[in-house]
Each structure stands twice: as structure tokens, then as C-alpha cells.
Structure 1
Amino acid sequence: MGELRSKAEHTEVIKTGGKVCVVVNTRSRRGRRRYSEVARLLRAEGFDPIRIFPVVDPRRLRATLEEALAAGPDLLVVGGGDGTLSAAVKHVAHRDVALGVLPLGTTNNFVRSLGIPLDLAGAIRVFRTGKVADVDLGVAGDREFANLASFGVSVEVAGRVRHWVKRILGRAAYPLTALTILPSHRPFRAFLTVDGRRHELLTHQLNIANGRFHGGWQVAKDISIDNGLLVAYQLGSGKRLRLLVETMIRATTGRWRSLAGGPFVMGREMRLETDPPMAADVDGEVRLMTPITIRTVPNGLRVMVPDDFVDS
């Protein structure tokens, strides 16, 4: 979509009066309550947005993002949950506009992957003190995504977790909902082909990550969203109890292994087949089925990140 400015030039433009548009999903966990605060904090940091769009009806999100981009912003600030940010990623990818993300969701996986503070004031301060970086995108089938493609229990959890439960419990709503599903869930067999090598496993849950976080907890202590690699890993095995124990350990302690020593498969492209065929949850959207090919697009997305973010 045209030639991109250098990251240094783009950063300077944003910090010295570049055009800013704002889109906030007011149906997200904190979007409605914090909407007016977003504009106030942006102005306190020296930004004067040319347009601010509240999204009351999620069905209007994509049209609203296109309207915001039509204004030609240098920085598109988006607030909402991971689903909102996933939609924004698809619109901003490969364009000469930087995405600024606000932590207004339940798990804020993408925000965490970029090292952005989880408090609203801190996140907005990044737009003044940080820098423009190019990070990787994942592509599942023909759908671009920022964070994760998952298969198994989590797909059912995404369909069943109640909005009011997320509002009250936050990220704990997901493992608690999983507890109600797991007793009747059947394991599946997955065949993952990476770099010519075929891996076979029996599991209740398989994840393929581009980002660093899942469910608000870090996948591995040395994982990156900017190394050109996907990371595949299973939770537990074919045994429900093992999945339950591993999920609760990670949910309560955040204890994850290193990529070098953990049960991870890494690669730039992965072909996944399952028996039986299964739905894929791609950053919150359940619209694809296995078999599926998942790959990375290095530096496919321009974002605003803290100055200490390692931009390779």
C-alpha cells in the first residue's frame, strides 16, 4: 500500500504534531468507563486528535476503523479487548500508519506482548516517549492475526464465556469457564508439519503463537513477537487432569519454561491437520477449520512501543 516512511521519521512526525485518530470500543471491559479519560490523557500528553470514534455497536467496528484511516492519521490509537485490536491489526497491516494500543480489554495479550504499560496513563505516555517499531504478523489461512491461533478446549471457552463474567472476574473467567467444559471434552490427534518434520500428538489444547502472551500469561520467558517465528505448544496431553493441573499452575504462578528447554515447536510456517477436523480460534474469531497452514509475515505491522522494546 505504498512506500513506508523510515521508523525514525515516522516516530518524529508523531511526536511533533502528527495527525492522530482514536477508536475506542465502548463495549469492551473498560472501554465505556474509560472513554472520556482517553481524550483527556491524550491532550495532557500534547496530542490533539483530529477524530475520536466511540464504537457502541461492535458490528460497526470495521467500518469505523476504515473511516478513521480515511482521515490519513500518522497514529491510529485503538482501545478495546484483543478482538478489537485484532480487527485493527488487519486494517493497519502494511500501511504507513502506526497503531497505538490501549489496555482496555480482559487479558490484553497484544498490549503485554508489546511491553506497553497496563495502566491507561502509562500506555498513552508511550506515544510521546516511545518509538515506532515493525513487528511480525501471523497468517492463518488467509486471515492475519497479531497474537494466537488455538485449537481445542479454548475454542469452546471463547464461545461460552459470558460477557458479565469477564467484567467481574477479568482474565480468571477463562480458566474457570474451561473447568465447566473439560469433563466432557474429548482429546484430538494433531499432526503438525514444520520444516519437513512431522510431529504427532494427542491433546485437549494446541496453541500456535505469534505473540508472547496467552490468557494474560506469558507463553515462555524468552518468546518474542519480533523474531519471525511461530511457536506451537500443547497444554497437558490427552489426559484431562494433566491439562487442568498445567493450566492452573500457569494461571496462578505464571511459571513458564524457556523455549530452549520446553515442549515447543518453532518455525516460520506450520501445516496443521487434526483428527477430527477442528475449528480454529484466530485472535478471538472462530471462522476457519483444519487442515490449515499458518505462517509469519516478518515486520508486517507498524506499532508504537516503549523506547526499550527490542526492535529487530
Structure 2
Amino acid sequence: MRTKQQLTDDIRNERRAVLVVNAHARRGRKLYDTALAGLTAAGFTLLGAYPVDRPGELERTLERGIGLGPDLLVVGGGDGTISTGARVLAHRDIAMGLLPLGTTNNFARTVNVPLDLGDAVATLTGGKVVDVDLGLAGDMLFTNHVGVGLSAEVMRKAPRSLKRLTGRLAYPATALALLTRHRPLRATVRAGGREHEFLTHQLYVANGGFHAGRPITADADADDRLLVAYPVGGPTRRTLLRETARNAASGDRRTLGDDPFIAVGELLLETDRPALVEVDGEPCGSTPMRIGLDANALRVMAPLDTVDR
């Protein structure tokens, strides 16, 4: 494995890259040609460029791109696409470039990659390679979060047409429709020899610093060797709605030391009945589930001022 500085220098000097864009992402199909033109104009030698129309082909296409031997594999899409790219690129001597083309773009926000496509391309030419942690839900790596409760149902049932039309508002709209018949879970988080019990409609375990496009806390990020477990509200639907609004409005003013956050390196999540689990918006089995960290598992091209521990 090259050092981060060596890989950064190789990307800047050689500019050997592969582009993979999820054409089903909210803006993917529309912006694929723009991304391709931007990378070419920036002087990259594109060993391969692939718009992926079928979700089932994404992982195979990423593996195909790796086989071409790039220094930088540029992945365009939403959080699910970026998470898939991270799993495929984990522990490889290749940096991942981000083109945030999705609805919430949580991981891009976490590593400070600009959401504007032109600025994101500029980061690929003028940024640096950093190491970030990935979460591990069972045996599935993830970039952003594990969700248990209402979110797992929302991710399964949010209409694709609504996401394309309204962006991130599709998720709360679907949640409101499902909430009327959703029962709360009794969730137990076991970590560090302690047990934390919550009666809630929703519990998250986050790796990065953002959720739903908003900061989780002012001091959470993807390179701090910590997972952050937290319920959203209590047993009533009203508290879920109130805490969702509070989290969105005050995330950047809260810290990991505040209630109800539990910041640990590993945990066991149990519920009073088997509950579906979603990982970065994708189904991932059900509870109980052990969730941990894979430290410094992924190399990412990020802005020069990104903190790299």
C-alpha cells in the first residue's frame, strides 16, 4: 500500500481514473455526461466510464473498474451507491472520489466534499487522500448509519418517483404515512459492560457526522473511531416527530456527551421482537445485530482542510 501522500501525488500527477455513476440516482442520469466532461477537462485519463442503469450491476461494474488499475475510482450517486463503492474499495490501494448526486449525500457532507458537481470535480484534482472509518453491521460494511424501526420500513417503501420529485422530503413524507400504524420497539444497546434500554419507534447507530442531510452532533465524524447510538423520541408518535424536528434544527449545537447519545467502538443491538434493519438505506437482516468499526478502512479524496487523524 502506498502512503496517503504517495497516492495523492500519483492522482495529481498521473490522473488515472475510472468513473462509475448510478444513473438511477436522483440526478445521476442527467449529470453523467456533465461529470464525464468535467473529469476529461480536468485532465484525467479515464480508463473506463460507466453509467449503471440497473442497481444489480453496480458492484460488478465497480469491480470491473478496479481491474483496470486506476489510482482513483470516482463514484457518483446517492448514499446507497457511495456505501456500495466503499465496501468494494475497502482496504485497497485505490482512493475513492465522490460525486454526490443523491438525495441527502450524508457521507459527502461528512468528509467535506462539496455538493456542487464542479466543485466536487475540483476536489479530485486539488484535494488529498484521507483515511476514514467504516462501520460494520454484522458482516456488512457501511459509511453512514444503521437504522432500526420506522426507517427500515421507510427505506423499503419510499416511492422512487417521490424521491426524484421531492428529494430528501420523500423520506419524512413516507414516514408520516407509515407512522399511524407503527408500534414502538423496546431496544437494548449493550456496550462497554453497560446496558441502555429505550422504548422508541426509531434507533440509529451512526458512523459518520450527518444523517438526513443534517449534522448529528457538532463533534461526530467518520474518522473518530466511534459509533454513535441514539433513539429518536420515545414510545409515542408525538415524541418521534418532536425529536426528529429537534435533531434537524439543533444537531450542530449538540455534542456526543449529551443525552441520549452513546458513543462507543462496538455494541450489540437487541429488540423485544425481531426488527428489520436498514444499512445506508439498504435492507440488512434483522435484530439482534452486533455493530462495530473497521478503522481507517477506506481511502477518500477529500478537500485539503479535511481533518485526517
Which TM-score bucket, shorter chain as reference? over 0.9
2:32 alignment partner, one of 35, 48, 58: 35
1:306 aligned to 2:303?
yes
If the length of structure 2 is used for normalisation, what is the TM-score?
0.97
Matches within 5 A, 1:226-237: 226-237=223-234
Matched, 1:224 2:221: yes
Judge conservation of contact 2:215–2:248 (CA < 8 Å) in 1.
no
User: Residue 168 of structure 2 is aligned with which of 159, 163, 171?
Assistant: 171
**Does the CA contact (< 8 Å) of 2:216 and 2:247 recur in 1?**
no
RMSD of the alignment, in Å?
Answer: 1.2
Query: Which residue of structure 2 lines up, in the alignment, with residue 154 of structure 1?
Result: 151
Q: How far apart are the structure 1 equivalents of 2:108 and 2:153? A: 24
Q: 1:253 to 1:174 in 2, by over 3 A?
A: farther
Distance change (3 Å), C-alpha of 1:6 and 1:106: same
Contact 1:150 1:280 in 2 (8 A): yes
Unaligned runs of 5+ residues in structure 1 are none
Which residue matches 2:182? Answer: 185
State the match for 2:272 in structure 1: 275
Alpha-carbon contact 1:269-1:296 (below 8 Å) kept:
yes
How far residue 92 of structure 1 moved from its aligned partner, in angstroms, is 0.1
Offset at 1:251? 4.1
Q: 2:284 aligns with which of 282, 287, 292?
A: 287
Contact 1:204–1:235 (Cα < 8 Å) also in 2: yes
CA distance in 2, matches of 1:217, 1:31: 22
Query: Counterpart of 1:103?
Result: 100
Matches within 5 A, 1:244-259: 244-251=241-248, 257-259=254-256
Q: Which amino acid aligns with 1:22?
A: L
Give, in whole Å, the separation in 1 of the partners of 2:244 and 2:258. Answer: 19
1:208 aligns with: 205
Query: Structure 1 stretch 36-45 or stretch 229-238: which is displaced more?
Result: 36-45
Which residue of 2 is the match for residue 264 of structure 1?
A: 261
Decide whether the 8 Å contact of 1:175 with 1:247 is kept in 2: no
**2:78, 2:102 within 8 Å by CA — same for their partners in 1?**
yes
Unaligned runs of 5+ in 2: none
Structure 1 residues 183 and 255: alpha-carbon distance in aligned structure 2, compared to 1, 3 A threshold: farther
Percent identical = 48
Contact 1:250 1:256 in 2 (8 A): no
Secondary structure at the counterpart of residue 37 of structure 2? helix
For 1:69 and 1:178, the matched residues in 2 are separated by: 38
* Aligned equivalents of 2:65, 2:44: Cα separation in 1: 16
Alignment pair present for 1:8 and 2:5? yes
**Structure 2 residue 77 is the aligned partner of structure 1 residue 85:** no
